[in-house]
Amino acid sequence: MEENFKRILREKVSELNLSLDPLQEEKFYLYYMALKEWNRKINLTSLEGEEEIILKHFVDSLSCIIPIRNENIERIIDIGTGAGFPGIPIKIYDEKYKLTLLESQKKKILFLEELIKILELSDVEIVWDRAENLGKDPRYREQFDLALARGVAKPNIVLEYALPFVKTGGIFLGQATPNNLSEWENAQKVVGILGGKTEEKIEINFDNITRIFLKIRKINNTPEKYPRRPGIPEKRPLLP
């Protein structure tokens, strides 16, 4: 089973023109086993098949590396990380990053704490809070070179969660599909309100999956009133 897992992982990762060493492959296997075990107790993922998890969680997360490879990135925040996607796969791939995982559900925090021990990852901080609260905290506000938020909310909402964390000159990496790209394009006014500018769109294809990344550069400080109180960005988005 383990060798089959690693073979599939190797094949799928190679479609991104990336490669993993044996230790990285082992860590992804341990991640997979922990995910399967904990998923019996709490709802971490609806995916069950080995290849499906490899492709739609691990490889999809690693695809985020492509748009940022030439950027000078040290600190990353993964907002609404859930079971650790995409932050932990990125950390496994390159341990130089200092990673903050933000999650509002305590049961998922417990999984992440256990997972970090299993994978023996250093420079990983796990924070149990909401983005609307943490984005006001001076220890986190405008402190990150890169913010990620995978499948958290609609673009006009997730932008309010994410951009306050990004330092001037840093990046929020929006993750779109052909089906929702128009929502990102319609949210460009929100990008500007929050101090960002969409620099480029990067399309990546692997295993019949298309991902469109929007590299949003932070060019101005986010106005102090954002993010608004918990729940407000979702109830009253900046643009409909």
Binding-site annotation, residues: 80, 85, 131-132, 150
Q: How many beta carbons lie within 10 A of that of residue 63, not counting itself?
A: 24
What is the C-alpha separation between 100 and 78, in angstroms, rounded? 6
Minimal CA–CA distance to 204: which of 25, 12, 1?
12
Binding-site annotation, residues for S-adenosyl-L-methionine: 80, 85, 131-132, 150
What is the C-alpha separation between 145 and 127, in angstroms, rounded? 18
3-state secondary structure 118-182: HHCCCCEEEEECCHHHHCCCCCCCCCEEEEECCCCCCHHHHHHHHHHHEEEEEEEEEEECCCCHH
Output the CA torsion 161→152→203→146 (10° steps). 40
Tokens of 161: 């969660």
Q: How many beta carbons lie within 10 A of that of residue 174, not counting itself?
A: 24
